[in-house]
Amino acid sequence: MVGGNAIRGTRVGAGPSGESERGESAPRRRVSYWCANGHESRPSFSMDAEIPEEWDCPRCGLPGGQDAKNPPAAPRTEPYKTHLAYVKERRSDADGEAILAEALERLRQRRQII
């Protein structure tokens, strides 16, 4: 028996004769974007699509612009904050002392009951 699989060597979605079955693809244009590290990416867009000002670099993730000599600056990332840092933003030291004193007083009262 010769050849047991009739669809051997094809990929999912491939038609029997390609473009004639699916129709013509939309006309496209490639736009160059450069990031601060000097990487160039060239995504393609439909001719009638709106071209974005910035495009994220697929190699390093920095934003890229269309001007090779003046790429956009890397975004400033905030350092990780601990829970204590967020609490200190909301409360003053005096508030913290008052809350601590209140909690200690409740703890002492519970210990006297037991």
83 labelled binding-site residue: no
Distances (CA, A) of 4 to 14, 15, 22: 20, 20, 28
60 labelled binding-site residue: yes
35 labelled binding-site residue: yes
Cα separation, 48 vs 83, whole angstroms:
48
Closest C-alpha to 74, from 84, 60, 58: 60
Residue set of the binding site for Zn(2+) = 35, 39, 57, 60
